[in-house]
A and B are shown apart, each in its own frame.
Chain A
Amino acid sequence: SQTIHQWPATLVQPVGSPLSLECTVEGTSNPNLYWYRQAAGRGLQLLFYSVGIGQISSEVPQNLSASRPQDRQFILSSKKLLLSDSGFYLCAWSVPRGLNTEAFFGQGTRLTVV
């Protein structure tokens, strides 16, 4: 069966520090991969998505970036965090099979920038 791993679960970082969140998927190949951010009490904002190695589509660039160095690995990064980067970050995957692209989520990373 397919599983998705996302770490760390919680993170407290000072303003201006770098960020690296990692997500890996097991049990499937060539998944679509996604990064979402959820501010407290708000909805799910799509940040980046990828349909293949090295292919990244950016929705909200700002000071975040994403990379997909391997088929089942998706990394979210920032060189310098802002207070507004605080939130719940969720990695998700889906199988590309036409329109049946429901998303399955990792456990999420709660990031607090102080």
Chain B
Amino acid sequence: QQPVQSPQAVILREGEDAVINCSSSKALYSVHWYRQKHGEAPVFLMILLKGGEQKGHDKISASFNEKKQQSSLYLTASQLSYSGTYFCGTEIPPGTYKYIFGTGTRLKVLA
């Protein structure tokens, strides 16, 4: 039931781009993205509510494909500060307030 993220881990050089995917076997009605720095709590990045919706701020954006039951997070021109573990989060089943997270993707940006 837990959404599966890919890749599990990725290493980038500063300025490179990355895509993180989140796929669910259950229907998704909203997807949220978080970043967790080592030893800290996850921090909310953005929410996607409608199928096909794309949102973004700074150089981080995301898309949501309801039909494919997946969401993707795009990090462009990565910075050192982007390092951390990224999680997608969602309510499964919708309307139950049971909030679970994807398997996580560890991202490391090197200078």
Tell me the A residues contacting B by CB distance below 8 Å: 32, 34, 36, 42-44, 46, 49, 51, 57, 59, 90, 92, 94, 96, 98-108, 110
Which residues on A sit within 8 Å (CB–CB) of B49? 99-100
Are B97 and A101 within 8 A (Cβ)? yes
Within 8 A of A (CB), among B54-111: 87, 89, 91, 94-95, 97-104
CB distance from A37 to the nearest CB of B (A): 12
Are B94 and A99 within 8 A (Cβ)? yes
CA distance A107 to B37 in the complex (A): 12
Tell me the B residues contacting A by CB distance below 8 Å: 2, 29-30, 32, 39-44, 47, 49, 87, 89, 91, 94-95, 97-104
Are A43 and B44 within 8 A (Cβ)? no
CB distance from B52 to the nearest CB of A (A): 15
CA distance A29 to B87 in the complex (A): 27
With A99-B30, A100-B49, A101-B91 in contact, do A43 and B97 touch (Cβ < 8 Å)?
A: no
Are A43 and B102 within 8 A (Cβ)? yes
Q: Which of A42, A94, A107 contacts B99 (CB 8 A)?
A: A94
Q: Which of A42, A99, A108 contacts B40 (CB 8 A)?
A: A108
Q: What residue in chain A is nearest B43 (Cβ atoms)?
A: A105
Are B47 and A100 within 8 A (Cβ)? yes
CB distance from B49 to the nearest CB of A (A): 6
Q: What residue in chain A is nearest B30 (Cβ atoms)?
A: A99
Which residues on A sit within 8 Å (CB–CB) of B95? 98-99
CA distance A98 to B40 in the complex (A): 28
CA distance A15 to B95 in the complex (A): 38
CA distance A51 to B40 in the complex (A): 25
Are A43 and B99 within 8 A (Cβ)? no
Q: What residue in chain B is nearest A36 (Cβ atoms)?
A: B101
